[in-house]
Structure 1
């Protein structure tokens, strides 16, 4: 027998709900601190109350920035069944239940009910090399953002004829940020090169016109983060599947679902713009969609999706990209 639990995760606390009787909607709730001690207390509370083995307890949480990660690993290592649910799927499920007002207790109830009605979908930890790669990529992105902000400040300072002290300080910070950015970038490349499968997969993806060093390392972190069964699964994870507008002035038009990591979509957008010019398959698709009446943004969205699908294909088949169009 499987017992269903929902945990609404926030920065400081965990709202836990055990769905004691799904048919009659009887529940038991408890709030814990989102700390290592709180995680242990939550796990013990579940075992004490449910009177079941960890492998009989199915805990559903949402992906919430980084705040769910420590609890997820704790529960998995303790033997519980864990599902880190896509927030977009949970929102749609909640709408179907008629849950309109958002509270922590209602959110945990929705998560428990989501697990009960959708069957077991088990989370598995990412390979250690991918977890480390993601953390380094996140640090690199932060450095790039800091560098861009300082460059913008320098531009404003020079236009406004600011103090020489301020301009000198900005130049110093920009120089240090560039050095650190280059160092972290080299660490990322060295990390990838340590693992033959990552090194090879990155090389294969870089045979695709439109995919360079930046997109290839990002796609490595995505494709190897979980057991994707198909290219469409990767595209859905990245929020690149078309979704039909159901209201408003653009009713009937499709747009990207935009769930998942926005930073990766931003990089894929730039890569798709390049691929439209230089990749024969994506260029042909782009022109065909425009001639069929699609907007430029819809055609670019399709180009992003196809680029992801090609990346998945060369990794899955372990072969270099061979254009189908001439």
Structure 2
């Protein structure tokens, strides 16, 4: 039997599907009845993957339902899918066209299959997204405080800041409680916090936002976090390499740990000083340390061992 690939364009109310290689199409409601209709439509066919883009809250129920059914899912970056569409010359954009393009994208590029997310990871992800939203609220409130002169508004803003801090603390405690309840997660967490510079917050951010860590090759770990240098070359001309793409949340979470590691992690401090001595700008040297950190974390998790200083 020929494996088939299905593209699914998910909107708030409907899901458009396109099956390759036979070209069958289906449109269903974005609810459990629609999900069941999709499973009946697939029947006994051998599905290599269902390819879809994340659409805020609208894809989550679909994703959970299909995972329970044991179907292979590939969640692709919307920007990558759009660039693929432009490269194929398909500039028109409708739900049915997008579904067909996603199916073709999956057939030709074979994007990575999602691992089954256990409920604990879903809960952690939800808590972490709430934490990130609270951090944004706190930043906005701090910025407002600089421009307020009315005493009532200043008092309300101060109260709001205190409330946000309490909520962040409560979310952090909930995240740590969930990690402590899971033996495998707790072991991975302990490995990460053993690395000088990696705080508890950075450790649970890596566990939540990059669950593949420990199962990747060195280059793949750097690329997935957006810390792999991209060459910029044409003919005899060579420009500066730069970082791009990847998971911005992971990259942001590694910045402060890299600064700490430049002072307190002997190996990474030596790397930082070496790059500075070679004339590299401080930001470039720090980025290199960030890349070393994620590669180190990946290697330690893969080998299931904590960080230890090298013997003198």
CA distance in 2 between counterparts of 1:18 and 1:10 reads 18
> Structure 1 301/120 Cα, relative in aligned 2: closer, same or farther at 3 Å?
closer
Equivalent position to 2:203, from 201, 216, 229: 216
1:103-155 CA-to-partner distances (Å, cap 9, x unmatched) read 44333222211222244843222232222222212222222222222222222
Matches within 5 A, 1:1-326: 1-21=2-22, 27-44=23-40, 46-47=41-42, 52-53=43-44, 55-56=46-47, 58-87=49-78, 89-91=80-82, 93-100=84-91, 102-119=93-110, 121-157=112-148, 161-162=149-150, 164-224=151-211, 228-245=215-232, 252-260=239-247, 262-324=248-310
Give the deviation of 1:6 after TM superposition.
0.8
CA distance in 1 between counterparts of 2:34 and 2:214 reads 30
> Structure 1 30/222 Cα, relative in aligned 2: closer, same or farther at 3 Å?
same
Aligned partners of 2:262 and 2:269 also within 8 Å: yes
1:19-76 CA-to-partner distances (Å, cap 9, x unmatched) read 244xxxxx343433333333333333x33xxxx4154463211334443222122223
1:266-311 CA-to-partner distances (Å, cap 9, x unmatched) read 1212221222222222222223334445443332222111111111
CA distance in 2 between counterparts of 1:88 and 1:244 reads 20
Aligned partners of 1:54 and 1:79 also within 8 Å: no
List gaps (5 residues or longer) in structure 2: none
CA distance in 2 between counterparts of 1:55 and 1:153 reads 56
CA distance in 1 between counterparts of 2:53 and 2:82 reads 10
Q: 173-182 or 221-230, which moves further after superposition?
A: 221-230
SS in 1 for 2:246: coil
Query: TM-score scaled to structure 1, two decimals?
Result: 0.82
SS in 2 for 1:63: coil
List gaps (5 residues or longer) in structure 1: 22-26
CA distance in 2 between counterparts of 1:67 and 1:146 reads 24
SS in 1 for 2:216: coil
SS in 1 for 2:171: helix
SS in 1 for 2:147: helix
Aligned partners of 1:281 and 1:325 also within 8 Å: no
- RMSD across aligned positions (CA): 2.9
CA distance in 2 between counterparts of 1:175 and 1:111 reads 46
Q: How many residues align?
A: 309
Aligned partners of 1:127 and 1:225 also within 8 Å: no
CA distance in 2 between counterparts of 1:88 and 1:303 reads 28
Aligned partners of 1:243 and 1:256 also within 8 Å: yes
1:66-114 CA-to-partner distances (Å, cap 9, x unmatched) read 4322212222323433222344554554455344555443332222112
SS in 1 for 2:230: strand
